[in-house]
């Protein structure tokens, strides 16, 4: 992997599911198993301890479902917003570009945790009466997290748009394509492909950032695991090494989710890859 | 066919075109020469409105085109353009590059466009490379695809903006051959080039532009053999050497 | 004359555009401020009394961030460098050993044990680095902090809880930024074209000299902007220390919001301080990046602004 990037050339055009990617996935699984074995040995715990899992299984599964629910809400909103904000950011109309630049600066300058905490505290008081409910603060915080990620994605899409060579647009115009047609058929396909790898990274960050919602009482894997941790610490005589099991399991869940996300996007990128352009990197 | 009357263009403090007047009758191949920075590329871009002239008029086939009522897209369908840097769409195959204009701009059927694109690729000698992506083609092949792409719109005239100056010497010949054939078939062309062989064999007229104005024009033999202006003489002696 | 009017029209539209953009931006921000705090009004007396406490909390954030960042530099450079090097195949080691043996006229090839152990050791360290970075990047900082905290809790249970939390937070932040920085150093070192190394070796420079005089000067230029971004990111990430009860800016702001019901005031102060710390720094970095880039050299060209090329 490292050598491939070092020489700046891929070995050959990989198929849709290449041998290399299968090997990489296998490597990752073996690595994860090895790492857990080493951790068990160094920290003296047993990951499959049935005494813990008898109390932890329910919160564990509920938490995974909860986290996936938040991801399913936040991810599409953020990608859609990020795309259009990125588009507006490169507009030659300053009416579009400047407000978006301010938006991006704000959301990139403030920690997501601050945004989450205060969106849940302030947000509900801004909403009309009929929307009020017990979970409103949480929903608004989740949306605020989407807005936050959208600011980062806007920058990714903007970079994608800008890396499409200017001559491409000129050639499209010279053929008589209208501005929107040139965007749709020439600029977008190229910008989209260039944006995919960094987008994969950002979506992985977004998945990890959903754990922040636990700070305001969300029912997710991190929050529920923290509850179990409190139980264990305040129950006299319980084996505190069980905390290692909990956090190793939680780390593994997040790792699988982020790994799946980056792998899917890498797969998408290969799907839309153009022959002869493999060495071109963003 | 193409008439340019008193065209001016400024880019900020740069006065690039200072009142250019030109006329290209149907079927003529006009070659524009001149030092770099003299405004040749800008003039071509003014003709298909990639650059909007600040003043003056451009007529194509008798239609005054740089008016708000005339859509730029319509103008660009009338004149094809070939760029110095090819500008093939990197995400499309050679065939798809040629098909894009007819399908998206003219609304032609996919199948008909495919047949037409294949014919055009055959005409520029690249039938075998239809499925290749631009990055897999040599510079000369890319430029020939670019010519086919412009021809696919059935333009009334073609603009060539230094089509061979980004090419390695061994590929220049194949592109010039395609252009020569095109001129012999009676295509109206305006070519900005420094290829003097092409200019003297193919051009019916040569225009020398310097500092944004037409300094001299005439038959190739006159411009190369007996230039009237001092500036023309210096320039010609430099490029003929 | 006609030329004048076309130019004038363009200038007029640009002015209208800019004016509208300013109105929309300022109006949008103004409306947001009004919607959040305007209707209730900010308690200026509270802000006047307490703002210094917020600044102190921000100082805690900066302090923790800076320590973690500096230690992270060492970790990051070490793993970045080791991960940027390539594996030497076993076959090549054997061939080299044979070459040396032939040159010295030995009749048997000595087994290159030290070579194999050395390269094997480097390989293991590199794979360990890969795993380290994958874990850091693949799991939330929250989980990393809590994990380190629970290790300390169990291994040194006698520690004062506040000290324990501080050490745990610092370790977690350091490890986290070390992982991210190692990616930055790796990319920076690998981006320096291998042709550069070749050319340096061709001039007769040693491996070390090539690193010192050719690769590092180029890599440092590439690495400084992303490192600064990493510092900004780490400053924001330090807010997560809230989970083990460390009161940096975010934690302090949240407690104030709950203890005194000063939600809007706290929000205003916390955001203002974060923005003051991050936005100017990232602006400067974007500017420096544009200005100091050696033409044609860059991890990526995409950050370049669209430069309008004057066609001639």
Is C127 among the domain residues? Answer: yes
Write the CA distances from A157 to A164, A171, A278, C99, integer angstroms: 11, 22, 20, 53
Q: Which residues of A touch B85 (CB under 8 A)?
A: 167
Is C157 among the domain residues? Answer: yes
Q: Which residues of A20-53 are buried (b: 16+ CB within 10 A; e: fewer)?
A: ebeeeeeebeebbeebeeebbeebebeeeeeebe
Domain count of the fold of chain C: 1
Is C243 among the domain residues? Answer: yes
Q: Is the pLDDT of residue A78 over 60?
A: yes
| Per-residue pLDDT reduced to its tens digit, B181-202 | 999 999 999 999 888 888 888 8
Q: Report the alpha-carbon distance of residue A127 to residue A144 in Å, rounded.
A: 14
The CATH number of whichever domain residue C187 belongs to comes to: 1.10.3720.10
Is C218 among the domain residues? Answer: yes
Contact B87 A177 (CB under 8 A): no
Q: Is the pLDDT of residue A1 over 50?
A: no
Residue C177 is part of which domain span?
53-291
Average pLDDT over residues B126-140: 89
Of the partner residues C6, C7, C311, the one whose CB lies closest to the CB of residue B42? C311
Is C11 among the domain residues? Answer: no
Q: Report the alpha-carbon distance of residue C56 to residue C161 in Å, rounded.
A: 22
- Looking at residue A72, what is its pLDDT? 92
Mutate to test the interface with C, among A25, A114, A119, A199 (most CBs of C within 10 A): A114
Q: Report the alpha-carbon distance of residue C148 to residue C174 in Å, rounded.
A: 11
Higher pLDDT, A17 or C224: C224
Is C39 among the domain residues? Answer: no
Closest CA to B193 of B212, B214, B209: B209
Alpha carbon C219 to chain centroid, angstroms:
15
Q: CA nearest B39 in C: which residue? A: C312
Q: A162: distance to nearest CA of chain B, Å?
A: 15
Is C121 among the domain residues? Answer: yes
Least confident range of B11-20, B170-179, C128-137, C218-227: C218-227
Q: Report the alpha-carbon distance of residue B191 to residue B162 in Å, rounded.
A: 7
Give Rg (Cα) of chain B. 18
From first to last of the 312 residues of chain C, give the pLDDT tens digit. Answer: 445 566 677 788 888 888 888 888 888 888 877 777 666 677 777 777 778 888 888 888 899 999 999 999 999 988 888 888 776 777 777 777 777 777 777 777 677 778 788 888 888 888 888 889 889 988 999 999 999 998 888 888 888 888 888 899 999 999 999 999 998 888 888 777 556 666 666 666 666 777 777 777 777 777 888 888 889 889 988 988 888 888 888 888 888 878 877 777 788 888 888 889 888 888 887 777 676 655 444 433 333 222 222 222
- Looking at residue C292, what is its pLDDT? 61
- Looking at residue C201, what is its pLDDT? 65
- Looking at residue B211, what is its pLDDT? 87
Of the partner residues B105, B135, B136, the one whose CB lies closest to the CB of residue A175? B105
Higher pLDDT, A42 or B114: B114
β pairing state of B205-210 and B55-60: unpaired
pTM, entire model: 0.78
Q: Which residues of C touch B41 (CB under 8 A)?
A: 311-312
Q: Is the pLDDT of residue A7 over 60?
A: no
Contact A176 B101 (CB under 8 A): yes
The ipTM assigned to this model is: 0.81
Q: Is the pLDDT of residue A129 over 70?
A: yes
Q: Is the pLDDT of residue A105 over 70?
A: yes
Q: Are the C-beta atoms of residues C136 and C175 closer than 8 Å to each other?
A: yes
Least confident range of B51-55, B206-210, C107-111: C107-111
E-state strands within chain A:
none
Which residues 15-54 in chain B show a CB within 8 A of chain C?
16, 36-42, 45, 51-52, 54
Q: C169: distance to nearest CA of chain A, Å?
A: 16
Q: Is the pLDDT of residue B166 over 80?
A: yes
């Amino acid at each position: 992997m490292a050598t491939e990037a070092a020489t700046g050339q891929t070995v050959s055009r990989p198929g849709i599911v290449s041998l290399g990617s299968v090997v990489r996935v296998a490597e990752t699984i073996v690595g994860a198993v090895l790492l857990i074995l080493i951790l068990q040995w160094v920290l003296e715990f047993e990951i499959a301890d049935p005494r813990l899992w008898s109390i932890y299984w329910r919160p564990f599964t509920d938490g995974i479902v909860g986290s996936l629910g938040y991801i399913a809400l936040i991810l599409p909103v953020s990608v859609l917003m990020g795309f259009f904000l990125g588009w507006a950011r490169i507009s030659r109309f300053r009416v579009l570009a400047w407000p978006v630049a301010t938006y991006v600066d704000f959301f990139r300058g403030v920690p997501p945790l601050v945004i989450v905490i205060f969106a849940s505290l302030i947000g509900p008081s801004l909403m009309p009466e009929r929307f009020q409910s017990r979970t409103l603060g949480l929903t608004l915080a989740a949306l605020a997290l989407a807005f936050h990620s959208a600011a980062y994605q806007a920058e990714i899409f903007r970079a994608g748009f800008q890396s499409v060579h200017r001559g491409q647009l000129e050639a499209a115009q010279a053929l008589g394509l209208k501005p929107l047609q040139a965007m749709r058929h020439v600029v977008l396909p190229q910008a989209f492909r260039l944006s995919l790898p960094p987008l994969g990274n950002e979506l992985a960050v977004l998945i990890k950032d959903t754990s922040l919602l636990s700070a305001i009482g969300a029912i997710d894997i991190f929050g529920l695991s923290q509850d179990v941790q409190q139980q264990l610490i305040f129950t006299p005589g319980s084996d505190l090494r069980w905390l290692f099991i909990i956090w190793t399991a939680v780390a593994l869940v997040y790792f699988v989710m982020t790994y799946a996300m980056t792998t899917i996007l890498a797969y998408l990128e290969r799907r839309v890859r153009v022959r002869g352009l493999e060495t071109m990197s963003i | 066919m193409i008439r340019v009357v008193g065209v001016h263009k400024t880019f900020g403090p740069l006065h690039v075109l200072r009142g250019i007047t030109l006329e290209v009758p149907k079927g003529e191949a006009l070659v524009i020469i001149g030092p770099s920075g003299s405004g040749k590329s800008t003039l071509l871009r003014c003709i298909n409105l990639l650059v909007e002239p600040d003043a003056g008029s451009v007529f194509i086939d008798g239609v005054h085109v740089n008016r708000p009522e005339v859509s730029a897209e319509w103008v660009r369908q009338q004149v094809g353009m070939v760029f110095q840097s090819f500008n093939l769409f990197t995400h499309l195959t050679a065939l798809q590059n040629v098909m894009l204009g007819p399908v998206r701009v003219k609304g032609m059927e996919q199948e008909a466009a495919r047949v037409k694109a294949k014919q055009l690729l055959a005409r520029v000698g690249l039938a075998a490379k239809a499925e290749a992506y631009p990055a897999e083609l040599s510079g000369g092949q890319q430029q020939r695809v670019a010519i086919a792409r412009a021809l696919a719109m059935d333009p009334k005239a073609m603009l060539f903006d230094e089509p061979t100056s980004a090419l390695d010497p061994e590929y220049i010949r194949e592109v010039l051959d395609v252009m020569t054939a095109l001129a012999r078939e009676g295509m109206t062309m305006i070519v900005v080039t420094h290829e003097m062989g092409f200019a003297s064999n193919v051009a019916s007229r040569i225009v020398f532009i310097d500092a944004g104005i037409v300094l001299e024009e005439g038959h190739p033999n006159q411009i190369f053999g007996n230039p009237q202006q001092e500036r023309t003489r210096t320039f010609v002696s430099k490029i003929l050497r | 004359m006609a030329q004048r009017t076309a130019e004038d029209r363009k200038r007029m539209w640009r002015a209208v555009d800019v004016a509208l953009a300013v109105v929309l931006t300022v109006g949008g921000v103004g409306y947001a401020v009004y919607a959040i705090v305007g209707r209730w009004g900010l308690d200026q007396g509270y802000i006047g009394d307490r703002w210094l406490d917020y600044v102190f909390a921000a100082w805690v954030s900066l302090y923790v961030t800076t320590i973690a960042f500096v230690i992270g530099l060492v970790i990051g450079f070490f793993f970045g460098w080791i991960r940027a090097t390539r594996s030497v195949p076993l076959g090549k080691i054997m061939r080299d050993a044979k070459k040396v043996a032939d040159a010295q006229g030995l009749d048997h090839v000595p087994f290159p044990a030290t070579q194999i152990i050395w390269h094997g050791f480097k390989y293991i360290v590199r794979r360990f680095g890969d795993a380290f970075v994958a874990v850091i990047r693949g799991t939330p900082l929250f989980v990393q902090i809590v994990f380190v905290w629970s290790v300390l809790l169990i291994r040194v249970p006698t520690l004062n809880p506040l000290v324990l939390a501080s050490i745990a937070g610092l370790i977690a932040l350091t490890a986290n930024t070390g992982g991210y920085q190692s990616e930055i150093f790796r990319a920076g070192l690998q981006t320096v074209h291998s042709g550069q190394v070749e050319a340096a070796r061709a001039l007769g420079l040693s491996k070390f000299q090539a690193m010192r005089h050719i690769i590092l000067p180029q890599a440092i230029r590439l690495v400084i902007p992303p490192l600064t971004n990493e510092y900004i990111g780490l400053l924001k990430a330090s807010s997560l220390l809230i989970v083990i009860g460390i009161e940096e800016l975010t934690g302090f702001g949240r407690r104030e919001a709950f203890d005194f019901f000063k939600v809007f005031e706290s929000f205003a102060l916390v955001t203002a301080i974060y923005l003051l710390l991050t936005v100017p720094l990232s602006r400067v970095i974007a500017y420096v990046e544009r200005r100091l880039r050696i033409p044609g050299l860059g991890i990526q060209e995409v950050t370049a602004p669209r430069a309008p090329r004057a066609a001639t």
